[in-house]
Amino acid sequence: MTRITVAKGDGIGPEIMDATLEIILAAGAKLEIDEIEVGEKVYLAGNTAGIAAESWETIRRNKVFLKAPITTPQGGGYKSLNVTTRKFLGLYSNVRPCTSLHPFVSTKHPVMDIVIVRENEEDLYAGIEHQQTDEVVQCLKLISRPGCEKIVRYAFEYAKQQNRKKVTCFTKDNIMKQTDGLFHQVFDEIAKEYPEIENEHWIIDIGAAKMADTPELFDVIVMPNLYGDVLSDVAAQITGSVGLAGSANIGEECSMFEAIHGSAPRRAGQNVANPSGLLQGAIMMLNHIGQTEIAEKVQNAWLKTLEDGTHTYDIFKEGTSKQKLGTKEFAKAVIENLGKKPSILKSVSYANNAALNLPKYNRKPAAKKELVGVDIFVHWSGSNPNELAEKVKRIESNGIKLSMITNRGIKVWPDGFRETFCTDHWRCRFKPNEGTEIQKTSIIELLKSAANENIDTIKTENLYSFDGKAGYSLGQGQ
Ligand code: NAD
């Protein structure tokens, strides 16, 4: 018996959750259920997080959470409960299988069978954003070595367990050499530990195009958070329907399982919604808690039901479908098929599908870290970079010199192009003369002088080398 937390959510949530629970309990799932309230009602009662403190206690105690979609009210500073839950509970891995069900669900990609493994906690989703000048706002993209190692290892362990042949990594490290560069580097390091699994890296743009065009080329694909967010929806959509995909959010201690679609408020209360996405989430949950036989039984019954042509309205198609069913009737059809297997679609076997047990992250020995310069960002409304250089050069001291100015990353001084468009947000890079050292106190001196010269400094970024290797990007055009 496993005790789990269930939230029925908003819109079509309660209907698809009831259908899902009915199916898995009929299949023999051994569950004790604690139900909590999350979503719209909680938000509108004035709780901007969409969840009460005592509900967190239930989730943390039970560790396994099955969640129906919720409606996040527009405006009013409401926080996305999904993002909060993933981060609070350390659910670093988002796993989303996207498999075609041809010929029973129409798709342009009949042999597609891929799994997107998306990093779930960091990247631009750290949500650290600042307005720095009248014209420029920034969002901090944070990629960590532990974050990369955990997700990449998860992808390889998952591939190994599921007998999958290849893990592909998507990044944009030709542009983001530090952040995406780290993700790619860790991918290459960890791939070496799994010689039996093929590995490859694609630049995300062409990789995504290829995935949308010929998904049969891919097997497991691992990627940072933002790319994974976008591409996992693309992958689910091109199987034929987003309404059919579920996802697992896995952490070291806790896990959350859900459908990928939203609360479809316009369909609520009409007994028409397709419970399949949430059911897929629930099947991943059953595997995760070790009830793999039940998971297998439910999945095979579900495949058989689709094969029988008994479909909800969203996938109903004259010719292929035989019967249009409501939510409750569809659940009943799946229950009647428990114990049966599909004959055209491939039946599943989940014999080795229990939760993956990954090693804890081991912190690496610290590298030799040296301060080698500083970028001082300046809010300045002029347009001629040479004028700014002249002004900023007045603060040079202790052998530390202005070496470059960029605007939105492109070098505009020295030797900039007149054609380059400039905003009011300038990065002034200071480096010590050859043989001179730079200290933290020299940076403070620079900032003091800037204040005296009425230069509006908005932030600094220290430039470091790690074991002699530059830990910062060059200016574009430098
Ligand atoms: P949606 O996924 O709710 O609906 C998109 C379309 O798909 C609609 O036409 C809907 O009728 C259809 N659809 C979705 N699920 C279906 C199902 N199971 N059966 C049949 N048809 C289905 O997306 P949306 O309309 O953009 O968002 C509605 C609300 O859901 C918003 O408040 C949004 O914030 C929320 N949302 C929640 C989650 C979540 O909790 N995980 C995810 C996405 C969106």
Tens of pLDDT, residue by residue over 161-199, are 999 999 999 999 999 999 999 999 999 999 999 999 999
Convert the pLDDT of each residue in 406-425 to its tens digit.
999 999 999 999 999 999 99
Mean pLDDT of the chain: 95
The Å distance, Cα 7 to ligand 1 centre, comes to 16
Show the tokens assigned to 125: 């989703």
- Closest residue by CA, ligand 1 atom 13: 264
The Å distance, Cα 164 to ligand 1 centre, comes to 31
CB 288 within 8 A of CB 357: no
Residue ranges of domains in the chain, CATH in brackets: 1-78+252-351 (3.40.718.10), 108-239 (3.40.718.10), 369-470 (3.30.70.1570)
pLDDT of 477 above 80: no
- Closest residue by CA, ligand 1 atom 36: 262
Q: Ligand 1 pocket by C-beta < 6 Å: which residues?
A: 12, 16, 69-72, 82, 243, 258, 261-267, 273-274, 277, 314
Mutate to test the pocket of ligand 1, among 20, 233, 261, 271 (most ligand atoms within 8 A of CB): 261
Q: At what angle do helices 292-307 and 327-336 cross, to 10 degrees?
A: 110
Q: To the nearest whole percent, how much of the chain has pLDDT over 90?
A: 86
The pLDDT of residue 243: 85
* Residue 11 CB contacts under 8 Å (≥ 6 apart), including other chains: 69, 71, 262, 263, 264, 265, 267, 268
Atom of ligand 1 nearest to the CA of 274: 19
Convert the pLDDT of each residue in 63-110 to its tens digit.
999 999 999 888 777 888 888 888 889 999 999 999 999 999 989 999
Atom of ligand 1 nearest to the CA of 266: 11
Show the tokens assigned to 462: 């220290």
Find, among 211, 201, 255, 253, the residue nearest to 233 by Cα: 211
- Closest residue by CA, ligand 1 atom 4: 264
Convert the pLDDT of each residue in 101-124 to its tens digit.
999 998 999 999 999 999 999 999
Convert the pLDDT of each residue in 121-145 to its tens digit.
999 988 899 999 999 999 999 999 9
CB 1 within 8 A of CB 31: yes
Residue 330 identity (one-letter amino acid): F
